[in-house]
Amino acid sequence: MTQQNQRPNAMRHSTRLDLVPLKTAYKDVGDTPSYERRFHVMAKPGGAKCNIDCQYCFYLHKEDLLHQPKQPQMDDETLEAFIKSYIESQDGDEIVFSWQGGEPTLLGIDYYRKVVELQKKYQPDGVRIENDLQTNGILLNDEWCQFLAENHFLVGLSIDGPAEMHDRYRVTRSGKPTFHLVMRAVEKLKHYQVPFNALVVVNRHNVKQPLELYRFLTQELGVTYIQFNPCVEANDFKTTAPQFWHESMIPVVGSELAKPGHPMSVVTDWSVDADDWGEFLKAVFEEWVNNDLGRVLVNLFETAVAQVMGKPAQLCITAEFCGKGLAIEHNGDVFSCDHYVYPEYKLANVKDKPLNEMAFSIRQQAFGMGKHDSLPKYCQECPYLNLCWGECPKNRLIKTPDGEEGLNYLCPGIKAFFDYALPMLTGLSVLLKRQEASSSQELQIPR
């Protein structure tokens, strides 16, 4: 399972005061003032195929859902159509390709050599092209790392903590652990100086050890950019598209069914508990503020600081609107979002329609606006609305206390986090604004 990723040159964070709109490589978010026609596509050139079998993966089941062949691979014609259209559809000075899956390294290095060649073929003057590869790291050997270094790829490496946490869900098809293989990849990446981020799925298990997890990443691995992604999967995610849930299956916030572990729970067993999520964020935030502010980037804290300062959200999930992060499958089919790869959310095929026509279509705009327009009254009246915006619609699995649908499953945790962190976020915001006014480049955090 792969998640969000971010380029090093986009690692400008609110705590260093250089907040041009951050481009998450995973999703470009909101309206970026200087680029009117920008969007992002998550490419899955090898479909859902993977070389391991993480229990919590939200994508493996697409093999069945989308009737994928045994060895899915985006063919040359489709690959070229995608690269050409993606480049021609945007008018920014940087275009970010993100390669994901499934496991994208299964296609082999030569496949990505072809990718780089095609990008050069269509690269306009003055436009920078960047590549991200989101991987489980299993296949990253010397040759791979040399290639990634030479071609300036940014790697998003999936790692869920030290061995005991990582191996809980991230296992091979025969149930064997993978932690040692990921650590081998870390060594190789470091040796070849390939920049990499940690993509961490916070699940029902590792959520209980926030400091052990965070310190492992920052102190043992030496990672300076971390993307925490709460694991939330509707229990029928393999067959039912988000927002197509049956009303009778939607529990009220705070009820037993709105938590993992109950046989009739709305979420899978491995989904994070919303209250635990709040405690996790609080503990990591405190550690981050005390020790790592300005040094380590944590996706959720960066955007929180930015938003408290009145700047645009840096993540689609905390933005008012979304819809600018599409996904393309190996056969060229394009979907509204990486988390909405279901037949109901298919836009068109890249061989039939230019990507910009899909990205800026009425249908896709409605998808993006829907994030805001479908908020329940409970959210509209929430003191943290401007920081949360109801989080990701795919997680809006529960009902408000008065029975309105569309509340985010993580709501209790999000609220608990902001109850705790808002005074500190506000203090940081004041400091940063002061610094902004004096045009200083580096924030001096009082200790």
Q: How far is the CB of 285 from ligand SF4 (least distance, A)?
A: 16
**Cα–Cα distance for residue pair 175/167, rounded to 1 Å:** 9
Q: Given the rule CB under 6 A, which residues bind ligand SF4?
A: 27, 316-317, 322, 325, 337, 339, 371, 378-379, 382, 384-385, 388, 390-394, 408, 411, 414-415
User: Which of 357, 359, 393 has its CA nearest to residue 375?
Assistant: 393
Phi, psi of 146 (to 5 degrees): -60, -45
| Residue matched to tokens 């976020």 | 425
CB 134 within 8 A of CB 169: no
Alpha-helical regions (H) of 374-410: 377-380, 385-388
**Cα–Cα distance for residue pair 226/288, rounded to 1 Å:** 11
Phi, psi of 65 (to 5 degrees): -55, -40
Report the DSSP beta bridge partners of residue 42: 98, 327
CB 160 within 8 A of CB 152: no
Amino acid at 314: Q
**Cα–Cα distance for residue pair 392/409, rounded to 1 Å:** 10
Number of H-type helices and E-type strands within the chain: 14, 12
User: Which of 140, 196, 223, 157 has its CA nearest to residue 8?
Assistant: 196
Catalytic residues: 338
Expressed in angstroms, the distance from the first to the final Cα of the chain is 38
**Cα–Cα distance for residue pair 282/277, rounded to 1 Å:** 9
**Cα–Cα distance for residue pair 148/36, rounded to 1 Å:** 30
Q: How far is the CB of 434 from ligand SF4 (least distance, A)?
A: 28
**Cα–Cα distance for residue pair 21/306, rounded to 1 Å:** 10
